[in-house]
Structure formats: structure tokens, C-alpha cells
Amino acid sequence: MQAQNNNVSQALPDNNDELYERFSIVIDKGQEPLRIDKFLMQRLEGATRNKLQQSINLGMVAVNGKEVKPNYKVKPGDSVIIFSDMSPEETDIVPEKMNLDVVYEDADIIIINKPAGMVVHPGSGNYSGTLLNGISWYLQQQQPGITENVLPRFGLVHRIDKNTSGLLVLAKTDKAMRHLAKQFFDHTINRKYIALVWGDIADDTGTVVAHVGRHQRFRKLFEAYPDGEHGKEAITHYTVLERFGYVTLVECVLETGRTHQIRVHMKHIGHPLFNDDFYGGDKIVKGTVYSKYKQFVDNCFDICKRQALHAKTLGFVHPTTGNDLFLEAPLPEDIGKVIEKWRKYSSTTGSSL
């Protein structure tokens, strides 16, 4: 029996903070009108019409940011996104050799500087090319025969979004994994992010306190609940680093680590992340829309094709030595270039005044 949209909350409980993994398609210009379930059957290997219809009825398929019915007919230019609540434990991890940016490694842990665009673990539409595919191959070269039974999820203790760049730590032993997991649970991990957000934030420093949980209707999105009626406690501290008038560069320190926390909290206070297509930052939010300014913003979007968010620093207690370990990752090229463009723009227009 097919589930209906009003059963989504039962299928995906509020206490499940796992990320949906997504597979996106932009409909070609020459596409004839075709039911979306039939269209996806042609595009997705191994997909059945029954499973696709169930996914669509559960709100797991969006067209142009909105849920649709199975009889929706796709048209040229439509942006289709397929979501899944599949966890890494439910997906086989196939080892793949790949170039990983290893910034620190010893017998217990490995720290990776993840590029934007890399999914952390396999899921719907992303069965290969993920960080865990690469890590599993990497560890098997050091420890032949190591499997998920020996080291669950190959040491993954936390995640960052696909389109967020920056530091991520994995354990190489079960003991190290338990030690790190406890630090994340106790919120003692030191994590700092650099973000470019829309608008001129009023205060130089501030704290956002609002529960973060799934949106009550659009379950692939998350929402801030300042009264704590849904979701889990979430606290983000921010400091303004530089002002560019229409956008602001900030440093965010996580006291908790909820899915999409910074993105949701910044939207909640009226400053969505620059080019965040989930939370309204992929359009002009601040500034008068005229041709030259719009062209400038569009050029910035072309340079940084994702939310301008980077996990810059990571600090924790080493699971074996007990010493404090603190690492930093430089800003990636795309965010750095966009910051420089806004810096020059604000200096020539006076928009930072």
C-alpha cells in the first residue's frame, strides 16, 4: 500500500537527524512531457515504478523545490531532486582508490580536508565517490581485511554537508572511535566554521539558541524552533570578521552539532548563507536589484556554486595521548575568490559603510 504525504512524519521521526542524500537532475531542453515516475524509471538504474511512486508520495521527490504527485509531467528546465533516509549502515561501502587530502594521521585517527561536492557516505544516488568509499580503500591498504564489522562505518563519527568543505576526523580503531564519539556527544569538540551570509549583521558577536529539527511539512529540510517545541537543542555562537554591506563574513562556533545547524540558524536570524539553495541564499536577499548589481551577484554565484560554508578548525582531545589536538584548513579557492570580489565591490561602492 502506498503511503500518503500525511504519513511522512510517521515514516521519518523527529529524532532522526540523519541527512538525506540527494540525486539531482535538470531536465533537458528537448524533453517531451512525461510522468515523473516514468521519467525517473528511465534515468535511475534498478528503480521500479512502485518504489518510485512510494518515494514520490512520501515527499522524497521534489521538482523546483516543491513536492509533486506521481502523475506530474516533467518539462524542460525542471530541477528534480530525489531524497532518501537511507543510513550508511544500510548501504554497502565499496572501497575505491581516490585522492584524499589528509591533513593529519597517526595510528589512531585520520583527519581529512573534505572538498565541497563530496558526499560523506553512500546513499541514494551516491553509491560511489563518497568519502567513506575512499577511506575504506585507504584503511584496507594499511589493515588488510578490515571491514565495517571490525570498524563500523570505517571510523566515521561525524559528518559535514556535501556542499560544505573542511575538516572531518575519522577513527582508525574501535577504541578511538568510542573516545571521539563521546567527545561529540558531550559537545567538547572545538569546531569553527567560516561563513559568508547575506545582510549586515547588527552585532559584532552573538549567539543563536533555537532547537533544530525537521521541517514539519518538507521533511528534507530542517527548521529552527526557538521555543523548543520540536527538534533538538542547538546553540551557535558567531563573530563578525568583515563587513561588505550586503553580505557579512562571520566565524561560527558550534556548541552543539545538529544537521544543517549553521545554515538553519543563520536563516532563522535573517541572514541565510550566500548561495545556499536549501535555505533561500541562492537569490539576491539584500541590495537593490538593478542590472549591474544582479550581474555581479550572479558572477559570485558562478564562482562559488554552493553555500559559502567551510569547516575551518577542529580541536579535540587525542583518544590515546590525551593531548589537545587542533588543526586548521585554509579557505578553499571558491570561497576565497568570492570574499575578495565582495571586498573590492564594497570598497568601490561604499556599500560597507
| Active site members | 161
Give backbone dihedrals phi and psi of 212, rounded to 5 degrees, phi first. Answer: -120, 130
Beta bridge partners of residue 321, listed in sequence order: none
Beta bridge partners of residue 276, listed in sequence order: none
Count how many Cα atoms sit within 13 Å of the Cα of residue 157 in the half-sphere of its side chain.
29
Alpha helices in the chain (DSSP H): 8-11, 36-43, 49-57, 131-142, 174-185, 261-268, 291-303, 333-349
β-pairing, 309-317 vs 247-254, is unpaired
Cell of 159: 559528518
Q: How many angstroms separate the Cα of 351 from the Cα of each of 109, 246, 288, 293, 320?
A: 45, 7, 11, 12, 50
CB 34 within 8 A of CB 73: yes
- CA 83, distance to chain mean position in Å, is 13
**Cα distance between residue 342 and residue 248, in whole Å:** 9
**Cα distance between residue 44 and residue 89, in whole Å:** 22
Which position has the grid cell 553509491?
127
Give backbone dihedrals phi and psi of 146, rounded to 5 degrees, phi first. Answer: -65, 135
Q: How many angstroms separate the Cα of 106 from the Cα of each of 103, 114, 135, 325, 330?
A: 11, 18, 14, 12, 21
Angle between helices 36-43 and 49-57 (to 10 degrees): 120
